Chain A
Amino acid sequence: MHLKYQPPGAKQRAHEAQRTRGAALSAAGMKLTDLKTGARARVVSVVPAEGAAPQELERRLAELGFLPGEAVRVVARGLLSREPLAVRVGTGTFALRLFEAACIRVCPEQTPAA
């Protein structure tokens, strides 16, 4: 078994994000993988994958619609290791594995969209 991608300090940062309610987030945003299921957010950026993940990943995510400013929401997550994620972006829904979703930086929305 290869090592599963585990973002360092993921839990703390998720807590922090909850507390700050997205107001004082760094410009880099939080990882989509740290977003709570059902919470609304907007894409800040798509960063290159970490480690040995394929290089085209970033471009493919952009082609699917993970582009800055687009609305995202985690619809569902798998049972074990919280993978995969079902993510709504704009009007489409995609299933992503953790290493894919980790490339997407988001900024939580303060109030749910009307």
Chain B
Amino acid sequence: MGALSGAHPIPLVALVGNPNCGKTALFNVLTGSRQKVANYAGVTVERKEGALLTPSGSRVRILDLPGAYSLDPLTPDEQVTADVLLGRRAGESAPDFVVCVTDATNLRQNLRLVLSLRRLGLPMVVALNMTDIARRKGIVIDAERLARELGVPVVETVGVKASGAKPLIEMLDSAAIPARTAGAFEWRTPTSADIEQDQAEVRRILGAVGGDRIDGVTFSDKLDAIVLHPVLGPVILAAILFLVFQAVFAWAQVPMDAIKAGVGAFAAWIGQAMPESLLKGLLVDGVLAGVGSVFVFLPQIIILFFFILLLEDSGYLPRAAFLLDRLMGSVGLSGRAFIPLLSSFACAIPGIMATRTIQNPRDRLATIMIAPLMTCSARLPVYALIIGAFIPRRTLWGGLQLQGLVLFVLYIAGVAGAMGVAYVLKRAGAASRFQALMLELPTYHWPSLRNLAIGLWQRVEIFLSRVGTIILSLMVILWALSSFPAPPPGATGPAIQYSIAGYLGSWLAVIFKPIGFNWQISIALVPGLAAREVAVGALGTVYALSATGEDVSGALTPLISHSWSLPTALSLLAWYVFAPQCLSTLATVKRETNSWRYPIIMAAYLFALAYLGSFITFRVATALSHLG
């Protein structure tokens, strides 16, 4: 294993490079991992570790690090990279070997970091990544010459291809790696003059190796002329978002009906095949009614993520940030807040972690505080259930579906709420006066089908494992709480009314009565704190148990559309626009801010907003329904 087998039994190799040069794609190929990759800067904000077994059978630890423009960090994610490289990270020495990943189409920028890294004195190799795209663009780089000019080995890689890392693996496996040159070194922050000098050196090297083609007007430029157009751009953005929400309802109907029918048939089969027992009650009322009612929403979640992944992979997301920058700036948000906020549409947890790319701590905190107002995918089942039950399947003008429109409005309501809160925070002095943008607009790529398929499969896995673990176990607990103690002899109402959950629900209903929630909804809100979709499952279980006789068909939709008034349904929708965060989000906020203060403030303000929003919605809707 040559120089790699040094002081450590298992050598540590760090992948370093500018943002969005394909480090994580290469990491995935090297280690067989499936870390998230996308076409924008700042996808990786943490140090990730994996293992590579080389052809000759030695093990190498591979580190994926957040992208950095320099070794002098300005943001928390860059800090991670600098700390690891300079050996400042607690309990970890500097890596034994550095792979400096470069984007072959953008060497003019990437080589400066190579020069900085070379100064560190660590053994290194330059990976000339994305050579496939460079070749397609007609950029030819003389890799051998580049290696001579830099005095560092250079290998060509293609991070998006399974075989694309072969030369790099061979390099890591061979003994041809230079040993660490200097022992201790003092890292000195370069001045502007140093950077200029580096750039002069980069120009000289590029002149020697080729690849210094500054394209006239590229395909990306032509696309940007339309996509970033002051008038056309926002119209296109609105159209894309609109299409997504329409598709979530229009395309999901068939598979959802199939799942519903499947779950219903299974419940019916169990109902006949099993004798009346406690176990049967648990299976039918607890597991199938609860878990089944969440599982139905899988197709909608897949459709939503299909679009999110397409947008992420194509390079459109930073353009959307560009178009919305003025709006974000007007409420005091950093332009860099856009991508963390957009990630929060999947789940607030990665969104809050992505705020590490924001430089100013106050701007970062403001973004963290509003991230949960972005409608996360766990809220989709709640919205979809209520919309499906109360909003008629009507087609408005131009083939527009009313249900999709209502969903769109709910997402917009969350965004509007977030903007309002951001504005209040700004007035309260929680945001800095000058918020940096400096966002890289990457070259557009055709989304890779492989990437899309892996990404979607991961979402399915995440959803199914949530359904199978947290949701299933909560459903079982809820079923038990709703079934015991058994009703006294001669009781007339459904058994659940005499159970622990029934009593708890009737207490909670006192609090929630002013906003129109009955005791069934009140009880469902509690497990909803663990994961939002659970609220849907909980309603399934609670209604299955409180229904008497034959109307338990396993389908929740007709049940609630009969037993709730429209104002109640609208009020519950309003509640979930703001609803206090799931506990794991609050735990993430605690970890990222290193204080209990912010998660407590967050939970309190969201609860207050949710209550207020629901109260107004319920009262207004009730008044209107009396008028009509």
Chain A nearest CB from B251 CB (Å) reads 33
Which residues of chain A in 62-95 are interfacial with respect to chain B, using CB atoms and an 8 Å cutoff? Answer: 62-65, 67-71, 75-81, 83-84, 86, 88, 90-95
For residue B434, CB closer than 8 A to chain A, the reply is yes
Closest beta carbon of chain B to A29's beta carbon, Å: 15
B109 at the A/B interface (Cβ < 8 Å)?
yes
Complex interface: chain B residues within 8 A of A27 (CB): none
Nearest CB in chain A to that of B196: its residue? A67
Instruction: Identify the closest chain A residue to B213 (Cβ).
Output: A91
The answer on a CB contact under 8 Å between B109 and A92 is yes
Cα A88 to Cα B108 with chains together (Å) = 13
Q: Does B149 contact A (CB under 8 A)?
A: no
- 6 other A-B residue contacts (CB within 8 Å) besides A54-B436, A83-B325, A90-B108: A1-B330, A61-B438, A63-B195, A75-B228, A78-B230, A96-B438
CA separation between A78 and B231, bound complex, in Å?
A: 9
> Can you pick out 13 interface pairs between chain A and chain B where the beta carbons lie within 8 Å of each other?
A46-B192, A51-B434, A58-B192, A64-B440, A68-B196, A69-B203, A78-B325, A78-B326, A90-B106, A95-B325, A96-B438, A97-B325, A97-B436
Residue among B225, B432, B441 with most chain A CB within 10 A: B441
Q: Are B438 and A100 in contact (CB under 8 A)?
A: yes
Q: Which of B69-77, B367-375, B484-492, B616-624 contacts A (4 or more CB under 8 A)?
A: B69-77
> A78-B230, A81-B326, A90-B109 given as contacts; is B441 within 8 A of A95 (CB)?
yes
- Give complex CA distance A95, B336 in Å: 10
Q: Which residues of B contact A (CB under 8 A)?
A: 69-70, 72, 74, 105-109, 112, 192, 195-196, 199, 203, 214-216, 220-221, 224-225, 228-231, 233-234, 318, 321-323, 325-326, 329-330, 335, 359-360, 432-442
Q: How far is the CB of A50 from chain B (nearest CB, A)?
A: 10
- From A58, A92, A97, give the contact of B335 (CB < 8 A): A97
- CB pair A84–B229 under 8 Å, yes or no, is no
Residues on the A chain within 8 Å of B442, using CB: 93
Contacts of A59 in B (CB 8 A): 72, 192, 195
Q: Is the CB of B228 within 8 A of A83?
A: no
Taken together as a complex, chains A and B put the C-alpha atoms of A86 and B442 apart, in Å, by: 11
With A76-B224, A78-B326 known as contacts, the answer to whether A91 contacts B105 (CB < 8 A) is yes
Task: For residue B198, give the distance in angstroms from its CB to the closest CB of chain A.
Answer: 9
Which of B199, B225, B322 has the most chain A CB atoms inside 10 A of its CB?
B322
Interface residues on A, range: 35 or more
The distance in angstroms between the C-alpha atoms of A63 and B112, with both chains bound, is: 8
In the complex, chain B residues whose CB is within 8 Å of the CB of A49? 434
Tell me the bound Cα distance from A102 to B215 in angstroms: 25
Report the 9 A-B pairs with minimum CB-CB distance, sorted nearest first.
Answer: A79-B230, A76-B228, A90-B108, A93-B441, A63-B69, A53-B434, A95-B439, A97-B437, A67-B199
A83 touches B440 (CB 8 A): no
Kindly report which residue of chain B lies nearest to residue A53, judged by CB atoms: B434
Are A95 and B321 interface neighbours, CB within 8 A? yes
Is A64 within 8 A of B196, CB to CB? Answer: no
Whole-angstrom distance between the alpha carbons of A54 and B221 in the complex? 30
Query: Does B234 contact A79, Cβ atoms closer than 8 Å?
Result: yes
Nearest opposing residue in chain B for A90, CB measure = B108
A113 in contact with B216 (CB, 8 Å): yes
Is A52 an interface residue, CB under 8 A from the partner? yes
On chain B, the residues within 8 Å of A71 by CB distance are 214
Query: Which residues on A sit within 8 Å (CB–CB) of B215?
Result: 91
A65 touches B108 (CB 8 A): yes
CA distance A99 to B220 in the complex (A): 26
CB distance from B25 to the nearest CB of A (A): 19
**A57 lies within 8 A of B436 (CB):** yes
Q: Does A19 contact B (CB under 8 A)?
A: no
Question: Is there an interface contact between A79 and B360, defined as CB atoms closer than 8 Å?
Answer: no
Contacts A81-B326, A92-B106, A92-B109 given; indicate if A64 touches B438 (C-beta within 8 A).
yes
Q: Is the CB of B440 within 8 A of A91?
A: no
Contact B109 A91 (CB under 8 A): yes
* CB-defined contacts of B234 to chain A, threshold 8 Å: 79
Beyond A62-B195, A75-B228, A91-B215, whether A56 also contacts B74 by CB under 8 A is yes
Contact between chains at B214 and A67 (CB < 8 Å): no
Q: Do A97 and B108 form a contact, CB below 8 Å, given A56-B74, A63-B70?
A: no
Q: Decide if A86 touches B109 in the complex (CB within 8 Å).
A: no
CA distance A104 to B234 in the complex (A): 27
- Closest approach, in angstroms, between the C-beta of B331 and any C-beta of chain A? 10
Contacts of B439 in A (CB 8 A): 94-95
Q: Closest residue to B228 on the A side, CB-wise?
A: A76
Tell me the nearest residue of chain B to A92, going by C-beta.
Answer: B109
A70 engages B199 (CB within 8 Å): yes
A11 within 8 Å of B (CB atoms): no
Once A81-B326, A91-B215 are accepted as A-B contacts, the answer to whether A99 and B434 lie under 8 Å apart by CB is yes
B106, B228, B231, B330 pick with most chain A CB within 10 angstroms: B228
Say yes or no: B330 contacts A100, CB within 8 Å.
no
Q: Which residue on chain A has the smallest CB distance to residue B331? A: A1
Q: What residues on A are CB-neighbors of B199 within 8 Å? A: 65, 67, 69-70
Pick from A2, A91, A100 the residue with the most CB of B within 10 Å: A91
A54 to B230, CA, bound (A): 28
- Residues of A near B228 (CB, < 8 A) are 75-76, 86
| Residue pair B69, A54 in contact (C-beta under 8 Å) | no
List of A residues within 8 angstroms of B70 by Cβ:
63
B441 pairs with A79, CB closer than 8 A: no
In the complex the two chains form, is B109's CB within 8 Å of A65's CB? yes
Q: In the docked arrangement, what's the CA distance between A77 and B203, Å?
A: 29
Residue numbers in A under 8 Å from B112 (CB-CB): 63, 65
Chain A stretch 1-22: residues in CB contact (< 8 A) with chain B: 1-2
CB atoms of B437 and A80 under 8 A apart? no
Tell me the smallest distance from the CB of B432 to a CB of chain A, in Å.
8
CA distance in complex: A99, B74 (Å)? 18
Bound Cα distance A67, B438 (Å): 15
Report whether B72 and A75 are in contact in the complex, using a CB–CB cutoff of 8 Å.
no
B326 touches A91 (CB 8 A): no
Query: How far is B225's CA from A81's CA once the two chains are assembled, in angstroms?
Result: 18
Q: B35: shortest Cβ distance to chain A, in Å? A: 24
Residues on the A chain within 8 Å of B220, using CB: 93
Give the chain B neighbours of A92 by CB distance below 8 A. 106, 108-109, 440
With both chains docked as a complex, state the minimum distance between the C-beta of A59 and any C-beta of chain B, in angstroms.
Answer: 7
Contact of A84 among B74, B105, B335 (CB under 8 A): B335
Taking a contact as CB atoms closer than 8 A, the residue among B72, B107, B335 that contacts A95 in the complex is: B335
Contacts A76-B228, A84-B326; is A97 near B435 (CB within 8 Å)?
A: yes
A97 in contact with B106 given A62-B195, A84-B335, A113-B216 (CB within 8 Å): no
Name which residue of chain A comes closest to B197, CB basis: A67
Q: Which residue in A77, A80, A93, A99 is a CB contact (below 8 Å) of B440?
A: A93
A42 to B476 CA separation, bound complex (whole angstroms): 67
